[in-house]
Amino acid sequence: MFVDIANSTRLSIRYDLEMVRHIKNSILRAASEVVRSMDGHVHRFMGDALMAYFGGRLQTKESSAMAALSCSAMLQVLMTQSVVPDLLRHGIDASDLGFRVGVDFGGDKEVLWSSYGYSVVNEVTATSFFVDASAKLQGMASKDSAMLGQNLLKFLDVPEAMTAIKYKTRAGKQEAAEYLSPNYIRPDGTPNNYRIRELNFGKFAKLLPLPTELKELVVSGVKSHGGITFSAYLLKDGAALVRYPSISACLEKGRSVRFELRAEPGALDGLKLPLTAKFVKQNHGVEATQAVQTIPEIIQRDMKPTSDAYRNPRPTVAHIDRDTSYRGLHTVSVELLAARGELVFADVIGVHIA
């Protein structure tokens, strides 16, 4: 992953060098903490940019690649919801600052880590087409966006709905940028045609493991309500064992997952009955398509305030259980609807399956 601060050059025109250093360093420090929180490693700072990598001997390649994808979306949340507002509060014109991100994936035999340099002037770094591609993708990205390479898209089987073709203006016309630029020629004379896509932040960010109160500020289709949460748990013998935050890890096939909508005591007070929890399971990817399992599955559950024998309010819970069956990134969304279809709560959880 390569990340840089878009539109940062103009800072040196408006502010003195100490202030510019402070602004850039604050943003890069925040970005590096996001990388680390996703189990990534900041490899190098380069002016107003950084290079990071994800993966390790104790991590699966699928989980590491998904962590990089999640990190690229989380960086946009950080910039728009924290960094820019904080700079504006301190009187710094930061409205056009943002992150530009490039991400790609290379397997064990596709990336070489080695020492560059001579004698005491040296550095261990990575050599790979995919390292170079991710750097070029970062250069092609627009402000507050992430560009993804073909190898990453294929490895994770990223749903087309969560990506978009990037368009650029040339000679006053919109032109699709479908391949990495420049489109190099192979030794046999054919174009490389390395496919690239822009991450659809509005759709992917819904899957980030964030509180609904924050998600509804940055994306549409999410609605919070005090005292109501939507969570997933890994099951064993019908018992919920471990909470599974959305897209937090890649699950193997054959696991059982419970998706639970929970309303704490009093959270449903004042709402018009009947209340209905509407769960929608949506499969994506090559395997689900081949098995003709991509039609949304809709399950409805009734919800109403409950109390114990002493009339003390109790939590109200509705859930569905589903098994992991097809490789790819799948989603389960929920809507809590009051009488006449009024939307009370909405959220979505992503499950990545190896």
Whether 28 and 166 map to the same domain: the answer is: yes
Whether 226 and 295 map to the same domain: the answer is: yes
d(Cα 126, Cα 123) in Å, to the nearest integer? 10
Whether 177 and 277 map to the same domain: the answer is: no
- State how far the alpha carbon of 179 is from the alpha carbons of 38, 144, 195, 197, 198, in Å: 28, 20, 5, 8, 11
The per-residue pLDDT for 103 is 98
Query: What is the domain extent for residue 305?
Result: 209-353
d(Cα 14, Cα 94) in Å, to the nearest integer? 11
The per-residue pLDDT for 351 is 97
Per-residue pLDDT tens listing for the chain (354 residues): 999 999 998 888 889 999 999 999 999 999 999 999 999 999 999 989 999 999 988 889 999 999 999 999 999 999 999 999 999 998 898 888 999 999 999 999 999 999 999 988 999 999 999 999 999 999 999 999 999 999 999 999 999 999 999 998 888 888 999 999 999 999 999 999 999 999 999 999 999 999 999 999 999 999 999 999 999 999 987 777 799 999 999 999 999 999 999 999 989 988 998 999 999 999 999 999 999 999 999 999 999 887 776 778 889 999 999 999 999 999 999 999 999 899 999 999 999 999
- End residue of a domain, out of 175, 203, 231: 203
The per-residue pLDDT for 245 is 96
Phi-psi region of 73 (alpha: psi -120 to 50; beta: other; left: phi over 0): alpha
The per-residue pLDDT for 236 is 82
The per-residue pLDDT for 238 is 72
CATH of the domain at 85: 3.30.70.1230
Whether 152 and 218 map to the same domain: the answer is: no
* Domain count for the chain: 2
The per-residue pLDDT for 309 is 67
- End residue of a domain, out of 156, 185, 203: 203
- End residue of a domain, out of 203, 234, 264: 203
Whether 243 and 346 map to the same domain: the answer is: yes
CATH of the domain at 218: 2.60.40.10
Whether 143 and 226 map to the same domain: the answer is: no
What is the residue-wise DSSP string for 88-106? Answer: HHTT---TT-EEEEEE---
Sign of the alpha-carbon dihedral angle for 242, 246, 251, 253: positive
Whether 136 and 233 map to the same domain: the answer is: no
The per-residue pLDDT for 222 is 97
Give Cβ neighbours of residue 170 (< 8 Å, ≥ 6 apart): none
Place of tokens 């960094």: 83
Q: Whole-prediction pTM value?
A: 0.92
175: helix, strand or coil:
strand
Residue 281's nearest CA partner among 345, 329, 233, 218 is 329
